Structure 1
Amino acid sequence: MRWGLPAALAMIAALAGCEPVSLTAPGEPSVRLVGDVLVGGPAGYCVDPVVTRPRQGFALLAACAAMTADETDTYPGDIALITVTVGDAGSAVVAGQEEDFKTFLETPQGAALLSASAIGGPVAVRQTQTDANAVAVYTEDVGPPGVKGTQTQAWRLFTDMRGRLVTISVRGLSEDPLSQSTSRALLTQMLAILRRANDETAT
Structure 2
Amino acid sequence: MNRLYLVTDGGIARRAGHTLPFVVEEACRAGVRWVQLREKDLSTRDFLDMGLALKRITRTYGARLIINDRVDIALAVDADGVHVGQDDMPYDRVRSLIGPDKIIGLSINTLAELEAARNADLDYLGVATIFPTGTKQDTSSLLGIDGLRAICGRTQLPAFAIGGINATNIRETIRAGATGAAVVSAICGHPSPYDATRELIGLLDEV
TM-score, structure 1 as length reference: 0.28
More contact order relative to length (CA 8 Å, sep ≥ 6): 2
| TM-score, scaled relative to structure 2 | 0.28
Structure having the larger proportion of residues in helix: 2
